[in-house]
Structure 1
Amino acid sequence: MYLSPKRFLNDAEFREYLKNIRKIAVFDKEVRKWRIDCNVVISNVKSKSELTSIIQTLKKYVDIPEELEDELYRCITSLTTAYLNSSNLSFKLDVKVPRSVFDQLSAYCKYYNGRFYLKDPGYVSQVEKILEKYGIKLVYNRRLIESIRLKCTVRRSGGNLILKFNYYCENIVRRLNEVCTVEYYIEKPIFDEAGNYVETRIVKKMLKFFKFSMDTLTGISCIGLLDRILDVLRAMDVLIIYGIEEKEDIKLNLKCNFKLLPHQELAYELWSKRKRGTIAIFTRGGKSFIALKAIYDTRKPTIIFVTTRELAHTWMEYLSNYLGLNKALVGYLGEGIKKIREITVAIYNSAVKNIDLIRDKFELAIFDEGHHVPANTFKTVAVKLDALYRMALSATPERRDKNHTLLFAFCGPLLVNINYEQLVKLRIVAPIEVFKTVFAKGPEDKIKKLIDILSEVKGSKVIIFTQYVDTAKELWKTLIIKGFSASLITGETDPKNRKFAFRDFLKGNIKIIVTTTVLDEGVTVPDAEVAIIYEGSGEPRQMIQRIGRVLGYYPGKTAKVYELIDITNSKEKRAYFKRKWVKELYIFPGIEKYVEETKRGALFGERSEKLKMQTKLEI
């Protein structure tokens, strides 16, 4: 409806007319008349009495029909009241408000699906003032709103962590988004125009593991991030209603056929506080016994993740020897076998392929060789598994690509980090008496240098590491021809034949094992004293793991490590320079003292007895 003066107005009358008409109408330039606009009324008129005054003033200059008066009153009465829902802190405005009002409200509310949700109960006063300015009264129970507290029900469903809130709080949602976002780094090879490799660049990605639904006021995340999420909720004074029930205890009859050493007891005590965490103990420090203790004490369905079938079978030996479990009762996921039991050993690759089979079956997850967890495919297991309790074991958890951040996020923070020097001083591992790099000129000279080393350590038990099966086979044949007593163990070796080879090695019938990467990680090789790295990658972790194969301790034993490098082979040289710093981990001031003490065969009482129990291996 349009309005225009019914007579000529003098200057004073025009100013009064203009002042009032602008509060209820906009000027239409096409028809050169004022058009009534409800949004303008809402924006400028704060009360019914003020509108009455405006109408009475304008009636002196324009005709205002009764139906127009009713329309003007409806503009303010239809939006004079908005009701704040105390259950979810939201309200609805029945008529569209000006953009300026919406922008002001957006500072304190989140607009979703036609409703405004307070970002925080404390913002109610600010919102009330904004609405009052435009003639809208916010109706709510002040005492109830002031006393309301954010609540979050935490539960587990379908392998996910479910967070149900009683109202929307922007600060909480923002913080949960932050702690559930994990940095992840991808190594990207760079090539020149000719296709030649130039360098490797690390590209950072942000992986998000939190989603929030405004419809249901529900957040969804991963069980692996539970501790991070609970820490945020507690820090922001959220009332947590914890609805996660533990899975039932296992019915297996377990025995504890071992005792923890002091450093293991410390690590276990720290882990027990939350039943989550990463334990870094240098190779041969007895990490597995901490996990066995967790299995024994928690009595919950347990899955143990390993990298290889060899390590899987080693764990089955552990479960049998130290927890008294019949191997037939232990589950196995790997090599095409899908045998799920209350305690199951799973190879990472197989776990990824069968994640839906195991996702909600276990309450305790042991991630052996935990530095593998952040691998592009393996991380799926830690992300999707709904196990409450988690323990990651690794001699070297920190990764070159920085992705140990994901390991710590999903398995728990680093609790202890016990290095080689500390283990030597505790008499847990053998001190290294010789750490020598031998350079050769060509393959023939390399073989000759190897024979020289074997002659030098004659009588000792030796493991020779190669990188490739063909190399291992040729080397083994050469040693046999030259009269050495040696066994060959590769990934192709039948498990029974490997067992016989280890038995002969243990008894001293065989003094040399020639192997590939198959013995790099997790396989307990008893009484080996000398490691010869005949071939190796440039990966420092591989070097550390290989050296670890000869660090098993018993009174009187020292270890010897030799690297053989063919300087005519550019690939070998590059690999050597990439890993050469590893030597610094083993050579520390005063190591000579421990070498001499050990060579004298000093005994160390109860500690040695406990260690003897832990180094027992029945083959």
Structure 2
Amino acid sequence: MNSTPSLEVERLCDLLSGRPGLSAREIARHLGLPKGVVNPVLYHRRDLFEARPGPGSAPVWRIRHAASPVTRVGFAPAPRRRTRSTEPGAALRQSLGHSRTRDVAPVVVPPPLMSWQSDALQAWEIAGRRGIVDAVTGSGKTRLALEAITRHLKGGGGVLVVVPTVVLLHQWASVLEGATGRRVGLLGDGYDETGHGSLVVATLASARRRRVDPGEAEGLLVVDECHRIAAECSSTILSPAWGARLGLSATHERLDQAHLSVLMPYFGSVVYQLDLRRAVDQGVVSPVRAAFIGVELLEEERERVEMLVTQLSRLRRRLVAECGCRPAPFTAFLDDVVGVSRRGPRAGGLMAQQWLKAWSAKREILAETPTKLAAVEGLIDAMVAAERTLIFTQSIESASRIVQSLRTRGMRVAAHHSGVEPERRAAVMAAFATGDLRVVVSVQTLEEGIDVPEADLAIIVAASKQRRQMVQRMGRVLRRKPDGRDARIVFLYALDTDEDPRRGAHEVFIEELVDVARATLVTEGVDDRVVEFLDPTRDEGKLPALA
């Protein structure tokens, strides 16, 4: 029963809200729990979770769409005592002796607004205090929102901040308490304090199940990573009762066009955009150097990849012609294939499953090839010179091999992915923040929804085809460095495959990056020239150090 505390209803809701249609086995893998622990909760809480026929014999699960009770935010000063939640996940945690108390964050004077933040805030106010701010990761969207919240609270209004994850729930609460001196009510992670103050922070999953309205006072709704709230099961949070509305995102557009059907009608418009080009030009984020390093696949790997590419192309043509899958962009095609795969063996389901299996096999080969591992090992000197390094890959096996290899070479490194217990992942990020860990290897768990400590070197071992994911990865190293050093990004790719930029891989994203990069390097294999290029002390006309 040692793993039982991590099985909370909220974690299941968080997972299924972002990835509906998972089987119990897949859910267990993502949460790092035995299937025998997951299944009873899914079947016991049929008021929250519903099963649907899956592509095989096992059902797949999603959030049940049901009306949520409305809880109005009160405006009395929040009490010092934390309120126990009645949510099932909280009851489980409390019954096991987990404390729900925390100290209020000390008051901290926030830094003055940067020029872009002042302009964005003014544009939002001119638009009637409704709109979305699109700004590159690492540019300071939270500081902008903090100013809007502070001004609103001074006018006597109530504020609800909706965030995608439990990690951000506590980070936002700490920042808000430090800036305002007020006790923040929490909704999520075992807390239910919607009636204890004029300032509440809620996770997306909790706000969906327990709707919060501002009551009689004027309300401000702030949605972090607002593209997530456009999903069918989350859009109910967008209540008309909130008169002032602020959405934050690095890339608000969605492939399913829900930004047009959900976000724009509710928020009104994108009132301000800070793209990478402007952010670099204005010194909002660090200058960047980018290295593109090609590696050869082993002969047997290349033969296997070529066979899989032929199979994928044949199946793709049939899925487009026979099942109506959108041919482009790739992420739209992938979404359609996943949907078709859930139909079962009929109506193209088997064909879609075959495509997904072949696609997964190709991704694993490209992520796990020994030649990429050798390239990572060749970059150890660059990691030693960096303050902190983030390594992104596409499979847990690849991450495990990288961690093991770097540890044997004396690097302080740890993995961060869905197979690692949440408590351990939190400990990894805490150690990364203090410098006890110098390298973190991630598989899709650091893209968004978590505040990553400052790093200055990113190594992308296997790239995602999704532009949003690539933008988020790059943003993890773009925050301005105290000493003015450049951010450095390394892309490893298998030569003459669909990872190869020379064959059009990630064309739009790479064009954006190359356009703003202070310097670029394209080469094959890792040598002294690469390490020298990545040297943080290399003088490319550094920015002045931060005051």
For the criterion TM > 0.5, the same-fold answer is yes
The residue identity in structure 2 corresponding to 1:603 is P
Which residue is equivalent to 2:304?
Answer: none
Q: What residue is the counterpart of 1:309 in the other structure?
A: 166
User: Quick one: which of 480, 483, 489 aligns to 2:407?
Assistant: 480
CA distance in 1, matches of 2:517, 2:423: 43
Change (3 A) 1:602 1:408: same
SS in 2 for 1:277: strand
Deviation at 1:520, TM superposition (A): 1.0
> Structure 1 residues 510, 589: closer, same or farther in 2, change over 3 A?
closer
Counterparts of 2:400 and 2:456, CA distance in 1:
22
2:298 counterpart of 1:438: no
Q: Write the distance in 1 (CA, Å) between the matches of 2:109 and 2:124.
A: 19
CA distance in 2, matches of 1:495, 1:444: 29
Equivalent-residue separation in structure 2 for 1:485 and 1:559 (angstroms): 20
Aligned-pair identity (%): 24
Residues 296-326 of structure 1: CA deviation (Å, up to 9, x unaligned): 110122211122222223322322343344x
State which of 114, 122, 128 in structure 2 corresponds to 1:261.
Answer: 114
1:17-36 alignment runs, 5 A limit: none
Mapped pair 1:559 → 2:487: yes
- The one-letter amino acid of 2:114's match is L
TM superposition shift of 1:407 = 1.0
Cα pair 1:359 1:385 within 8 Å, conserved: no
Partners of 2:286 and 2:178 lie apart in 1 by 23
Which secondary structure state, in structure 1, belongs to the residue aligned with residue 370 of structure 2? helix
1:338 correspondence with 2:192? yes
Query: Are residue 452 (structure 1) and residue 307 (structure 2) matched?
Result: no
Q: Shift of residue 587 of structure 1?
A: 2.3
Distance verdict in 2 for CA 1:517–1:338, change over 3 Å: farther
Contact persistence 1:331–1:345 (CA under 8 A): yes
2:544 to 603, 609, 612: 603
Question: Residue 129 of structure 2 contacts residue 245 of structure 2 at CA under 8 Å; is this kept in 1?
Answer: yes
Change over 3 Å in CA distance of 1:541–1:466 after alignment to 2: same
Name the SS for the 1:510 alignment partner. coil
Letter in 1 for 2:272: V
**Contact 2:73–2:214 (8 Å) recurs in 1:** no
Q: Determine the C-alpha separation between the residues in 1 that align with 2:76 and 2:279.
A: 34
Q: Which amino acid aligns with 2:179?
A: Y
SS of residue matched to 2:515: coil
Residues 494 and 309 of structure 1: CA distance in aligned 2, closer, same or farther (over 3 Å): same
Give me the whole-angstrom Cα distance separating, in 2, the residues matched to 1:337 and 1:469: 32
Query: Whole-Å Cα distance in 2 between the matches of residues 249 and 365 of structure 1?
Result: 15
Listed one character per residue, the Cα deviations across residues 381-425 of structure 1 (whole Å, up to 9, x for unaligned) are 22x352111000111122333332221210221111111111112
Q: Distance in 1 between matches of 2:257 and 2:116?
A: 27
Alignment of 1:353 onto 2:209:
yes
Structure 2 CA distance for aligned equivalents of residues 385 and 473 of structure 1 = 47
Does residue 547 (structure 1) correspond to residue 474 (structure 2)? The answer is yes
Q: Aligned partners of 1:390 and 1:567: how far apart in 2?
A: 47
384, 401, 404: which one aligns with 2:259 = 404
Shift of 1:262: 0.9
- Structure 1 residue aligned with 2:135: 281
After TM superposition, the structure 1 = structure 2 runs for residues 153-168 of structure 1, keeping only pairs within 5 Å, are none
What's the C-alpha RMSD, in Å, of the aligned pairs? 3.5
Structure number with the bigger relative contact order (C-alpha 8 A, sep ≥ 6) is: 2
CA distance in 2, matches of 1:309, 1:584: 34
- Correspondence list, 1:191-590, <5 A: 251=77, 257-273=110-126, 274-299=128-153, 300-325=157-182, 329-335=183-189, 337-340=191-194, 341=196, 342-355=198-211, 358=213, 363-382=219-238, 384=239, 386-405=241-260, 406-441=262-297, 442=301, 443-460=369-386, 461-491=388-418, 497-498=424-425, 500-554=427-481, 555-566=483-494, 579-588=506-515
Task: Tell me how far 1:482 sits from its aligned partner.
Answer: 3.4
Shift of 1:532: 1.6
Q: Give me the whole-angstrom Cα distance separating, in 2, the residues matched to 1:353 and 1:546.
A: 30
Is the contact between residue 539 and residue 578 of structure 1 (CA under 8 Å) also seen in structure 2? no
Letter paired with 1:268: L
| Residue of structure 1 in register with 2:526 after alignment | none
Consecutive unaligned residues of structure 1, counting only runs of 5 or more, are 1-195, 197-245, 610-619
Secondary structure at 1:364 match in 2 = strand
Instruction: Tell me how far 1:562 sits from its aligned partner.
Output: 1.9
Task: Quote the Cα distance in structure 2 between the aligned partners of 1:592 and 1:582.
Answer: 16
Distance 1:482 1:546 in 2: 25
Report the secondary structure of 1:373's partner residue.
Answer: helix
Larger Rg: 1
Q: Determine if contact 2:377/2:405 at 8 Å carries over to the other structure.
A: no
Are residues 446 and 354 of structure 1, via their aligned partners in 2, closer, same or farther at CA, if it must alter by over 3 Å? same
Q: Deviations over 1:7-42 (max 9, x none)?
A: xxxxxxxxxxxxxxxxxxxxxxxxxxxxxxxxxxxx
How many residues end up aligned between the 2 structures? 354
Deviation at 1:349, TM superposition (A): 2.5
Alpha-carbon distance in structure 1 between the residues aligned to 2:136 and 2:539: 19
Output the amino acid matched with 1:449.
Answer: A
Gaps of 5+ in 2: 1-54, 56-71, 79-103, 302-368, 521-535
Once residues 589 and 527 of structure 1 are traced to their aligned partners in structure 2, the CA distance between those partners, rounded to angstroms, is: 20
The amino acid that maps onto 1:403 is A
What is the 5 A alignment of 1:53-72? none
- The Cα shift of 1:504 comes to 3.7
TM-score relative to the length of structure 2: 0.57
Q: What displacement does 1:475 show?
A: 3.0
